[in-house]
Amino acid sequence: MSNTEKNEKRITFGTIHIPDLSKQLIAETLAATRISSGKLVRRFESSFARLIGAPTAVAVSSGTDADILALAVLYDYGAKRGDEVIVPALSFVATGNAVLHAGFTPVFVDIDRKTLNIDVGQIEAALSPRTRAIMPVHLMGKPADMDAINAIAEHYGLMVIEDAAEAHGAKYKGRDAGTLAQLGAFSLYIAHIITTGEGGIVSVQNEKDAEILRSLRSHGRACKCKVCTLNAASKYCAKRFDSKDGEDIRFTFERVGYSSKMNELEAAIGLGNLENYDEILEKRHDNLMHVLDRFDRFSPYLSTISEASHETIGPHAIPIIVEASTGITRAALTVHLEAHGIETRTLFASMPTQCPGFAYLGYREGQFPNAEYMGRNGLHIGVHQDLTLEDMDYVMETLAAFLDRAS
């Protein structure tokens, strides 16, 4: 019998609940047989926007689509296909994929090892006449240095789009992640603080961008009203044939678009989660800080991030970095944690140099030493709301036992 089979303790990475409100809304939606994007999606959009202090939000089918569509808004501001977007080298691969799927060229910048976020001191050297935007990632829910990023963008006339996939609940100088730039893209995947099962949402600062996003998520249609009369079960829409030549605007496609709508069943799950948001956030943040505040005990073998006075980390997960100079390996630590019931994820990779799909871009190993270090030596574990402080103590005891054996 293996160690894993002997161990009954289980610290899973993520969790999901379908609250009673969600079950009620799902049942009502199924009974009405109107499950495509409609009133529940609109209700979820307005509730999410209100929660983070954004003027509005547009729901889509995934966090990756949230990135892609937010980037595609750039075309309405004059960007051309092949133009460049600055992104950190270290992120979940969806960040780099989204830039490519939106038709742009990712230009990668190394990270700061202490924050895991883009090194703002290297951004200006990566700019070119074809740069159109900067997409910082709030990795592991720790806010990027948005004042410095926004200052660079303003100086060079660039748009900033936040990849806030993991940053629910994160605050930077009193403001929520997703409201620190023109657009903010969130994931609503199962492991995230607010979930719709699958799904994503873009927080928006002005109605023009919201209309563009509504068009983009539905094939680029000219239809982009905040409330669709047809989706509200009306038999007639006064705007539908109100064009100069009387043609049906539902079949007028103003831009290259996507099929990325959220459906009513997903929105129902999200609405239930929003009702419990404060409780979920508090529990997860307590779990996170219980470990981060005590993590110095593992120095010099292991390190992690810290919460600065000007910020609140969105409690997505606990990053753990193995210090290679000590002779310990991530592989050995991962095996130990998994054998003791603690589920792990690697801390992503340097997209341009450690993800084979990006090899055609021509980057070389060694160009992003900090991102590459994390790709070899980083992992992360869960802090979700079903875990307790006792579970967090178990994680720390298990780490300590590994170090006692390894050192």
pLDDT for residue 234:
57
The answer to whether 192 is a known catalytic residue is: yes
Q: At what angle do helices 277-292 and 389-406 cross, to 10 degrees?
A: 30
What is the C-alpha to C-alpha distance for residues 135 and 125, in angstroms, rounded to an integer?
16
Residue 214 — φ and ψ, nearest 5°?
Answer: -65, -35
What is the C-alpha to C-alpha distance for residues 372 and 221, in angstroms, rounded to an integer?
41
CB contact burial 136-167 (16+ within 10 A = b; e otherwise) = bbbbbbbbbbbeebbebbeeeebbbbbbbbbb
Whether the CB-CB separation of 146 and 166 falls below 8 Å is answered with: no
Q: Can you list the positions of beta strands (E) in 28-165?
A: 56-60, 84-88, 90-91, 105-109, 131-134, 159-163
Report how far apart, in Å, the C-alpha atoms of 385 and of each of 18, 75, 274, 380 are. 14, 40, 14, 16
Report how far apart, in Å, the C-alpha atoms of 200 and of each of 72, 167, 189 are. 15, 13, 7
CA dihedral 353, 122, 72, 192 (to 10 degrees): 70
pLDDT for residue 8:
76
CA atoms within 13 A on the CB side of 168: 30
Residue 392 — φ and ψ, nearest 5°?
Answer: -65, -35
Q: At what angle do helices 277-292 and 264-275 cross, to 10 degrees?
A: 70
What is the C-alpha to C-alpha distance for residues 266 and 36, in angstroms, rounded to an integer?
10
**Which of 17, 101, 138, 192 is the catalytic position?**
192
pLDDT for residue 151:
98
What is the C-alpha to C-alpha distance for residues 65 and 68, in angstroms, rounded to an integer?
5
What is the C-alpha to C-alpha distance for residues 108 and 259, in angstroms, rounded to an integer?
28
What is the C-alpha to C-alpha distance for residues 199 and 160, in angstroms, rounded to an integer?
22
pLDDT for residue 237:
65
pLDDT for residue 337:
98
CA atoms within 13 A on the CB side of 108: 31
* Tens-level pLDDT at each residue, the chain (407 residues): 344 445 678 999 999 989 999 999 999 999 998 898 889 999 999 999 999 999 999 999 999 999 999 999 999 999 999 999 999 999 999 999 999 999 999 999 999 999 999 999 999 999 999 999 999 999 999 999 999 999 999 999 999 999 999 999 999 999 999 999 999 999 999 989 999 999 999 999 999 999 999 999 999 987 666 666 555 555 666 666 666 776 777 777 789 999 999 999 999 999 999 999 999 999 999 999 999 999 999 999 999 999 999 999 999 999 999 999 999 999 999 999 999 999 999 999 999 999 999 999 999 999 999 999 999 999 999 999 999 999 999 999 999 999 999 87
For tokens 């129902």, name the residue.
Answer: 268
Question: Among candidates 284, 255, 301, 243, which has minimal Cα distance to 387?
Answer: 284
What is the C-alpha to C-alpha distance for residues 137 and 311, in angstroms, rounded to an integer?
15
Structure tokens at 407: 């050192």
**Domains along the chain with CATH numbers:** 3-12+277-406 (3.90.1150.10), 20-274 (3.40.640.10)
pLDDT for residue 232:
55
